[in-house]
Amino acid sequence: MTTLDPVDSRTGERRRLRVLLVGKAAPDRGGIPTFLEMLRTGALADTHDVTLLNLAHEGTPEGGRVTTGNLRRTGRDALAVRRAAAGNDVVHIHSALAPAVTVLRASLLALAARSRGCAVIVHAHGGNIQTWLTTRSRRALMRFAMLPAHQVVAAWTAGEKALRQILPAHRVRLIDNGVPLDPPPERQTSNGVPRILYVGLLTPRKGVLDLAAASTILRDRGVDHELLLLGGTPDEGPEAEAAVRDHLPEWAQLLGTRNPEDMPAVYASADVFCLPSWWEAMPLSVLEAMAGSLPVVATDVGDIARAVDHGRTGYVVPPRDLERLADVLEGLLRDAGARRAMGDAGRRRVESHFSADVTARDTDRLYMEIAPPRR
């Protein structure tokens, strides 16, 4: 466990803050629920009084769309944030922060928390912010929507840069994602047939069908392998999931979803991890795979190239380049020694740069900087 900063830089005293985390947690799946669980149960919870307001909802996902259901949920969620924020020092809101509907929703939640006198953080996790903020009207909307937030946090460098071009620089900062570093379970044998693992939502934007196409190329080349896909319905809804399921090859194995505590065993069952997304921020699945000593093949989007040391812990390839994706996967599938060496190097890289303790330390520093005087 990391040792967090011992004192408040303004008062010289260590304060145990009351922190409310706000976002969609389990049973929802994906980066934000995983990140919330890490904050809720990790070093921050030993140092501060951390509670979670879980805004996950039942029913069909309608992320990013103007629908009656979304409008009603946003109103209910804003009222829930206002009620739960009472008595807290910091409210830490987690959002994809794009497109416009999501930006306005985050703004309303921040305003509800601000109305209780709390310090408010909006933490942006969505990897398409920089590509969405391409018009004057969208930049103006983001600037206005983030007025209730004391700080806006980005999980990747391009997002930080894009937000700093719109918001005052002192109100934006980067906090890297991190993952727990429990000892990985013993690697499971695969009967001599190497396994490629994908972990993520089942949606075309995650490159699942690109991976399926690369797997077909490998089969045509005579490279024997298994393809394992773990994930569930994306925020876009069941149509996006159906677009994936309906076009998978017959040898692809759909594993459904797993609880966070079961994920280390999933990574231990594979030989290579692949995430060929079209856009990302700093995907936790890549860091989890590296923590599980898996070599990683991923696309050069977001901050993946900061995490994956190309040629040492895995390979970074251009998005939607099926031949290149197949080439690097083939090299790893044919060379068990390279897989082991890269997996071990990936574990060491996460230990030094992307552990949950590092994320907790940086988050704690932010809390201590912006927390209001105790009422």
CATH number at residue 259: 3.40.50.2000
Same domain, residue pair 130 and 215? no
Cα dihedral value 208, 94, 105, 76, nearest 10:
110
Same domain, residue pair 136 and 280? no
Note whether residue 8 is domain-resident. Answer: no
Predicted local distance difference test score (pLDDT) of residue 1: 39
Same domain, residue pair 199 and 341? yes
Listed as ranges, residues in the chain with pLDDT below 50 are 1-3, 6
Same domain, residue pair 346 and 228? yes
Note whether residue 118 is domain-resident. Answer: yes
Does the pTM exceed 0.75? yes
Same domain, residue pair 294 and 151? no
Number of domains in the chain: 2
Calpha distance 278→258 (Å, rounded)? 24
Same domain, residue pair 202 and 342? yes
Same domain, residue pair 35 and 159? yes
Same domain, residue pair 30 and 130? yes
| Structural domain containing residue 106 | 18-178+355-370
Q: Regarding beta strands 226-230 and 252-254, do their DSSP bridges make them parallel or antiparallel, or are they unpaired?
A: parallel
Q: How far is CA 99 from the centre of its chain?
A: 17
Same domain, residue pair 172 and 267? no
Note whether residue 258 is domain-resident. Answer: yes
Q: What pLDDT, in 10s, does the model give residues 255-281? A: 999 988 899 999 999 999 999 999 999
Same domain, residue pair 146 and 39? yes
Cα dihedral value 43, 47, 94, 362, nearest 10:
-70
